Amino acid sequence: MVKPALFLVHYHEIALKGKNRRHFEQLLAQRLRDALGEAARVRLLYGRILIEAEPEAAAAVQERLARVFGVAYYARVQRTEVDFRSIATTAVEILGDFSGSFRVTAKRANKRLPFTSPEAEREIGALIVAARGWPVRLKGAAAVVYVEFYENEAWVYTSRDRTPGPGGLPVGASGKVMVLASGGIDSPVAAWRMAKRGARPVYVHFHSYPHTSLDSLRKTVLELEALARWHGPTRLYVVPLAGVQEAVFTHSPERYRTLLYRRFMYRIAARLAEKERAGALVTGDALAQVASQTLENLHAVAKAVEMTVLRPLIGMDKTEVIAEAKQIGTYDISILPQQDCCSFLEPKRPATRSTPEQLERAESRLDVEKLVEEALAQAELRRVGE
């Protein structure tokens, strides 16, 4: 009989949730089932999650576990009976041709066992020393043998089998957010960070076609397909902004154009967020990165809506954002050439320190509600990552 490949999943932040802990555990287990599909069976146990898969699916399971938010770390484990000699033999087999210092770390979920964790560590360590002669080092050991006792079985793995997960909270634990996705480097990273905090992202992309190409839309779809590997399938609203921009160009001062474009984006995104029951807007803004992202302009633009606007990248510099974009797999897509919608009819000397009152006056000759409604009427909904 072929033994299944076993993976032990641990979490950290969820364990601090007190009375709500079980809810978060169940949500994480469901996100694991979503990610693994038919490839594995997910068992929610006390304080940990055990995954069983066919041996040929092990590599695919490991790849997917690395992208499930809420997972602190995971390890492929060997299951043995609660017998120190069997555990030591299994540990030696796992370590193979290892040569160096080691230590044993044991945990007991079953406190009814007739020994303590330190007693188990000493006994198992002594058996490993007798078998291989490796020296024991309690601090700075080259390898750690982990033994976790659960009910009437034990799971054995080593520090070499332990792989970090992305951490955070399972997607869906913190509600839903509407992400303004431009097709650039920043917004995918902002969305990824919100998903890591348990928010489920839905997206809106604005374009100025036919005045600009649809390259930014094509890039956005590719970025969301990459992000779907982390947070699952998502929804994308595609909204033409050219009508709004033409009205702003005709009736408003040039220096405020980009800020007024953004205020309309916020209004439209907020309406879509209400439709999706999303609790906040998310942007890729970083403080002072461009003229529209000065402290004053961020405040003046956000005043167009009552909805909370979250900016996960606000204190990051471009180097940090690029490094994270590479890590999550969106960077190579984001740097493909595009014409951003805000580049259409862009002012030569944009305002850097506007106030809400100045922007409201600049909008006074516009039928704001009509422009928003017209843009929403042309919005297209796409499903990405399914």
- State the pLDDT at residue 52: 96
What pLDDT was estimated at residue 51? 97
pLDDT score for 337: 84
- Domains contained in the chain, CATH given: 5-164 (3.30.2130.30), 176-384 (3.40.50.620)
What band does 344 get if pLDDT is binned at 50, 70 and 90? low
Residue of higher predicted confidence among 257 and 151? 257
Using CA atoms, how far apart are residues 102 and 254, in angstroms rounded to an integer? 69
Torsion angle in degrees (nearest 10) through CA of 126, 127, 129, 130: 120
- pLDDT tens digit sequence for 240-293: 999 999 999 999 999 999 999 999 999 999 999 999 999 999 999 999 999 999
What Rg value do the Cα atoms of the chain yield, rounded?
A: 26
**pLDDT the model gives residue 336:** 92
d(CA 169, CA 188): 18
* CA atoms of 271 and 117, how far apart (whole Å): 56
Q: Tell me: the pLDDT tens digits for 175-227?
A: 999 999 999 999 999 999 999 999 999 999 999 988 888 899 999 999 999 99
Closest among 26, 28, 55, 25 to 40, alpha carbons compared? 55
Give the pairing of strands 153-158 and 73-81.
Answer: antiparallel
What is the band of 110 on the pLDDT scale with cuts at 50, 70, 90? Answer: confident
State mean pLDDT over 129-148.
96
E-assigned strands of 271-347?
280-282, 308-310
Instruction: Specify the 3-state DSSP secondary structure of 236.
Output: strand
From residue 104, give the alpha-carbon distance in Å to each of 74, 76, 88, 111, 228: 18, 17, 10, 18, 39
Higher-pLDDT residue of 322, 48: 322
Alpha-carbon torsion 44, 45, 47, 52, what sign? Answer: negative
